[in-house]
Chain A
Amino acid sequence: MVTLTIDGQEVTVPRGTTLLKAAESVGTKVPHYCYHDGLSSPAMCRLCLVEVEGAPKLQPSCVTQAQDGQVVHTGSPNAEAMRRGVLEFYLVNHPLDCPICDQSGECKLQDFVHAEGREHGRSREPKRVFGRDDFGGDVLFYGDRCVMCTRCVRFMNEVEQDPRLTVVERGNRSVIDTFFERGLDGTNWSGNIVDICPVGALVSKDFLYKQRAWDLDHTPSICPSCSQGCNIDLHTRDNLVQRLKPRTNLEVNAHWMCDHGRHNYEFMNRGDRIEAPLVKEGDRHTEVGWKEALSTMLDRAREVGGTVRAVASPFSCNEDLAALKAVVEALGGGEIVYRLARAEEEIPLKGMPTLARRRDLAPNGTGADALGLERVGDDDGTGGLETVSSHDGVVLVLGDALQDQAADFAGGASLFVYLGTHASEAVQGGDFILPVTTFAEQEGTFTNRVGRVQRFWPGLQAPGAARPAWLVLGAVASELTEAEPANTAAEAFSRWVASNEPFAGLDYASLGTRGASMNEPVSAAGD
């Protein structure tokens, strides 16, 4: 450990810590472009220059290691003057097209110039023009906006390890490019270069001109596209998910997410939702209120009895699955199965061996397994429901829309209840069709492939009368067993924990925003 003074504040950091990180630990953010926590440091943006007493020149804080007894001034007049100077250079050729730039509002050039730059740049010269280039994949390149931090080049070299990008030419003709027309097509993680671009040089085609960054609400969530459990933010507006962005969690996905997950969000915005509880009368379904739907259903359930066969979904959270299990047990027990599509292969991120787009294409298969649910069906997520379909007792389906099943699914069941978001031909046979929320509309937790339990929060408003499944099923179980229902997701979670020995001791507060692994409860909120 070394002890140094930064801006008059004494701080002790491990040997090898950079001044930039040491300053961060006392709450001082030194502006920077080329430095990124997940990449090597070329020290070329020259923006993180700080004054170190005794050093002849200003030092780049991103590579200068803290030394014992060092006295550092991040905001000395000299350091500020030089950073102001460097910022002016950034604007010499920058087009200032903020009004039509997607990055506007989350742009580090805007931020830093606003914080430390000159009021007016002095350059009157014509600006250099590179124009726009389609890099392939989801990535568009606006060369004029580029600040040449080379984060994107280093991401492709060091993290994705598919070095498709390079700096071409030199000096002020330098520009980022691919190998001529060979773009980024076929890469699986290149969406990240849009995230780490500090300015609007690399933008997403999907997000192009779609929304202004400052209009978006950010909700911490978990990527539902595979069992890795990448931490993400849902960026929403107008009750629609506009884009997904990775949220830093060094233990799961660091700063990254794959393109597959990143672009798989439209399903959260689907409009053809089941919006009210439906009760089958004859061959028609009638919209009813929740109270009526549930009491009718309970009456029917008590009346028919018999064993239960249930289908769950690995897209359902732990809380929902636990509530489903409780209902099945209250009705007299039975088996619960789930189906999970499986990709042919993993898509690893070479620079981070613990991160990959996993084969299991759902977020909570592990959570289902932990509850003793049985995985059935084929690798494309179909089939395997013959015994359920032909069951003559109670059939419960949660979340699985049974797209592959025929209209006579569970035709012989004494009671067929479907809780889901969307209808299908098979679902139409349900005696009760109950609207539940998606993960994007509710609070809950997923358990990723290595048993890490991670929370997500609601970023969208549920349509109509849709309610979280844990709330609906919790009410049903409570009626059946006369136990207290869970009133909050946290309570629902505690019931799941109670029935899951490996997760004993976890609660929402201890999970925080970063999650925790089974039997490794964190002592304080992770954030």
Chain B
Amino acid sequence: MAYPYVSDREVRILSKHFGDPAARTLEGALANGRYEALKKALEMDRGAVIEEVKTSGLRGRGGAGFPTGVKWSFMPKDSGKPHYLCCNADESEPGTFKDREIIRWDPHQLIEGCLIASYAIGAEHCYIYCRGEFFEASSILAKAVEDAYQAGYVGKDILGSGVNVDITVHIGAGAYICGEETGLMNSLEGRRGQPRVKPPFPAAAGLFGMPTTVNNVETLAAVPHIVEHGGEWYRQWGTEKSPGTKLFCVSGHVNRPGNYELPLGFPLKDLIHDVCGGIRDGNALKAVIPGGSSVPILSAEESEECALCYEGVIAAGSMLGCASVIVMDETTDMVKQVRRMAYFYQHESCGQCTPCREGSAWVTKILRRIEDGRGKEEDLETLVEVTTQMTGTTICVLSDSVAAPVQSSIEKFRDEYLALIRRGERVGAA
């Protein structure tokens, strides 16, 4: 059996060679058709490459879902300055584990994507910002980049085209916030990884003050396929607003957790019960987080009709984020898990903005108190109000991310909170 789990309902484009150790070698990659799209792109006009990506409707896979082609078109044409491409491989949204798989199984796919994107935006240097914990993955990537350098796919005058693109594999050092694009740029510049105030936007003044585009690993990995087969080809999957395929990272209480590449718009119900083999131990579903810990929790009921595309998940009351589906069965202690998520944001808050710095810690303390049976019913209202105060008042959206699990869980699983509070009150009274 191939590794890892696969499903016949998948459309394996990016993940086609997951589980094939040969795919990471240059020979294997070439046999798999890697760098064909690069050749094609280099013969195209830069603008035409951007147009093709625009046509495909590819949306950023890092979480925000901004159309990639449009993002590229923000880059100035004749700025006379060096441009940079940053590949965001600082994968750290809880529930997300797709970029590491792309990097370690098919690194040349990513490298090719980086090269095409760099060409399209006029960047001569691409930094791949790998999270520091990815020692193995970044080693594989570094080796693949070195192979690509030696074969003339990276570096000066790529394939005789006159185009120069250098790639540097850079490592982070343990900070979730460096996955935010401006935090990533600060970190790459050797600073504290605090997000920057926008404007100026990265396309105007980004890395080292130069025009910069930041794209997620999965986004860039999809680019060669789009260039090779055309934007329209990519649109055969997915929905009008969410074209293409997406890697869904399923974790939690399912029988077969893992990465599954599915067309966007795939029913969440089918993902859990069919693709992933259902809930472990035959338990009932309690809740699903459809897009990583920063999005609202869906109740089992809400998840029933949810289609996994950007607009579909919004309609269901959450967000697709980076399509990290965290499945929770009936045994889940919701308050504990929400507290754990809040603690994560407290731990990872960069500390610049007051609402986030103070709020995330405060929320965690309240949740801990409730969990320990020392809560009061009015704490729930405080939690909702405090997280509201944290929403929309900060430089980046980490602060808003605290609100998502807290508010949605209080709305949908209020009884669990109340049960803990009542039990605590009884114990206290006794």
Measuring CB to CB, which residues of chain A are less than 8 angstroms from any residue of chain B? 41-47, 49, 57-58, 60, 63, 82, 85-86, 88-90, 92-93, 122-123, 125-126, 128, 147-148, 167, 169-174
Q: Which of B360, B361, B395 has the most CB of A within 10 A?
A: B361
Interface of chain A: mostly helix, strand, loop or mixed: loop
Q: Which of B173-219 contact A (CB under 8 A)?
A: 175, 192, 197
Q: Is the CB of A89 within 8 A of B358?
A: yes
Q: Which residues of B contact A126 (CB under 8 A)?
A: 365
Q: Which residues of B contact A92 (CB under 8 A)?
A: 358-359, 361-362
Q: Is the CB of B197 within 8 A of A171?
A: no
Q: Is the CB of A44 within 8 A of B353?
A: yes
Selected contact of B357 from candidates A85, A122, A125, A174, CB within 8 Å: A174
* Interface residue? B283 (CB, 8 A): no
Q: Is the CB of B351 within 8 A of A42?
A: no
* Interface residue? B355 (CB, 8 A): yes
Selected contact of A42 from candidates B197, B365, B366, B393, CB within 8 Å: B197
Question: Which of B238-246, B315-323, B342-350 contacts the other chain?
Answer: B342-350
Q: Which of A43, A86, A170 has the most CB of B within 10 A?
A: A170
Q: Is the CB of A170 within 8 A of B351?
A: yes
A86-B393, A88-B389, A172-B346 known; A44 and B352 CB under 8 Å? yes
* Interface residue? B394 (CB, 8 A): yes
Q: Which of B328-382 contact A (CB under 8 A)?
A: 346-355, 357-362, 365-366, 369, 382
Please give the distance in Å from A102's CB to the nearest CB on chain B. Answer: 23
Please measure, in the bound complex, the distance between the C-alpha atom of A351 and the C-alpha atom of B317, giving whole angstroms: 51
Q: Is the CB of B355 within 8 A of A46?
A: yes
A42-B197, A43-B395, A86-B393 known; A172 and B352 CB under 8 Å? no
Contacts A89-B358, A172-B358 aside, 20 further interface pairs with beta carbons under 8 A come to A42-B352, A44-B352, A44-B353, A44-B395, A46-B355, A49-B393, A57-B393, A58-B393, A86-B389, A89-B389, A92-B361, A93-B361, A122-B382, A147-B354, A148-B352, A167-B192, A171-B349, A171-B351, A171-B361, A172-B351
Please give the distance in Å from A130's CB to the nearest CB on chain B. Answer: 13
Please measure, in the bound complex, the distance between the C-alpha atom of A174 and the C-alpha atom of B369, giving whole angstroms: 23
Q: Is the CB of B359 within 8 A of A89?
A: yes
Please give the distance in Å from B398's CB to the nearest CB on chain A. Answer: 10
Q: Which of B378-406 contact A (CB under 8 A)?
A: 382, 385-386, 388-389, 392-395
In the A-B complex, the 6 residue pairs with the smallest Cβ-Cβ separation, listed nearest first, are A85-B389, A174-B351, A89-B358, A172-B361, A171-B349, A125-B365
Please measure, in the bound complex, the distance between the C-alpha atom of A125 and the C-alpha atom of B348, giving whole angstroms: 20
Please measure, in the bound complex, the distance between the C-alpha atom of A148 and the C-alpha atom of B354, giving whole angstroms: 8
What sequence of 0s and 1s flags, for each residue 224-255 of chain B, a beta carbon within 8 Å of any chain A beta carbon?
00000000000000000000000000000000
Q: Is the CB of A82 within 8 A of B360?
A: no
Selected contact of B393 from candidates A46, A93, A122, A169, CB within 8 Å: A46
- Is the interface on chain B under 10, 10 to 19, 20 to 34, or 35 or more residues? 20 to 34
Chain B residue with minimal CB distance to A45? Answer: B354
Q: Which residues of A contact B395 (CB under 8 A)?
A: 43-44
Please measure, in the bound complex, the distance between the C-alpha atom of A173 and the C-alpha atom of B394, giving whole angstroms: 18
Q: Which residues of B contact A147 (CB under 8 A)?
A: 354
Q: Is the CB of A86 within 8 A of B348?
A: no
Please measure, in the bound complex, the distance between the C-alpha atom of A136 and the C-alpha atom of B392, giving whole angstroms: 39
A86-B393, A93-B358, A171-B360 known; A148 and B351 CB under 8 Å? yes
Please measure, in the bound complex, the distance between the C-alpha atom of A44 and the C-alpha atom of B351, giving whole angstroms: 9
Please give the distance in Å from B395's CB to the nearest CB on chain A. Answer: 7
Q: Which of B67-87 contact A (CB under 8 A)?
A: none
Enumerate 9 A-B pairs (CB-CB under 8 Å) in ascending A order.
A43-B395, A46-B353, A92-B361, A125-B366, A126-B365, A147-B354, A171-B347, A171-B350, A171-B361
A42-B197, A43-B395, A171-B360 known; A86 and B355 CB under 8 Å? yes
Please measure, in the bound complex, the distance between the C-alpha atom of A49 and the C-alpha atom of B359, giving whole angstroms: 17
A43-B197, A122-B382, A125-B365 known; A90 and B351 CB under 8 Å? no
Please give the distance in Å from A232's CB to the nearest CB on chain B. Answer: 32
Chain A residue with minimal CB distance to B392? Answer: A57
Please give the distance in Å from A108's CB to the nearest CB on chain B. Answer: 13
Please measure, in the bound complex, the distance between the C-alpha atom of A147 and the C-alpha atom of B358, giving whole angstroms: 10
Q: Which residues of A contact B361 (CB under 8 A)?
A: 92-93, 128, 171-172
Q: Which residues of A contact B358 (CB under 8 A)?
A: 89-90, 92-93, 172
Chain A residue with minimal CB distance to B398? Answer: A171
Please give the distance in Å from A382's CB to the nearest CB on chain B. Answer: 51
Q: Which residues of B contact A60 (CB under 8 A)?
A: 197
Selected contact of A169 from candidates B351, B353, B355, CB within 8 Å: B351
Chain A residue with minimal CB distance to B197? Answer: A43
Chain B residue with minimal CB distance to A57? Answer: B392
Please give the distance in Å from A198's CB to the nearest CB on chain B. Answer: 12
Q: Which residues of B contact A42 (CB under 8 A)?
A: 197, 352
Q: Which residues of A contact B197 (CB under 8 A)?
A: 41-43, 60, 63
Q: Which residues of A contact B369 (CB under 8 A)?
A: 125
Please measure, in the bound complex, the distance between the C-alpha atom of A139 and the C-alpha atom of B182, giving whole angstroms: 34
Please give the distance in Å from B358's CB to the nearest CB on chain A. Answer: 4
Selected contact of B392 from candidates A58, A93, A167, A173, CB within 8 Å: A58
Please measure, in the bound complex, the distance between the C-alpha atom of A46 and the C-alpha atom of B369, giving whole angstroms: 28
Chain B residue with minimal CB distance to A81? Answer: B389
Please measure, in the bound complex, the distance between the C-alpha atom of A24 and the C-alpha atom of B349, giving whole angstroms: 32
Please give the distance in Å from A115's CB to the nearest CB on chain B. Answer: 17
Q: Which residues of B contact A44 (CB under 8 A)?
A: 352-354, 395
Q: Which residues of A contact B353 (CB under 8 A)?
A: 44-46
Please measure, in the bound complex, the distance between the C-alpha atom of A382 and the C-alpha atom of B371, giving whole angstroms: 76
Please measure, in the bound complex, the distance between the C-alpha atom of A85 and the C-alpha atom of B347, giving whole angstroms: 22
Please measure, in the bound complex, the distance between the C-alpha atom of A44 and the C-alpha atom of B366, giving whole angstroms: 24
Q: Which residues of A contact B355 (CB under 8 A)?
A: 46, 85-86, 89
Please measure, in the bound complex, the distance between the C-alpha atom of A57 and the C-alpha atom of B197, giving whole angstroms: 14
Chain B residue with minimal CB distance to A94? Answer: B358
Q: Which residues of B contact A122 (CB under 8 A)?
A: 382, 385-386
Chain A residue with minimal CB distance to B362? Answer: A92
Q: Which residues of A contact B354 (CB under 8 A)?
A: 44-47, 86, 89-90, 147-148
Please give the distance in Å from A30's CB to the nearest CB on chain B. Answer: 15
Q: Which residues of A contact B351 (CB under 8 A)?
A: 148, 167, 169-174
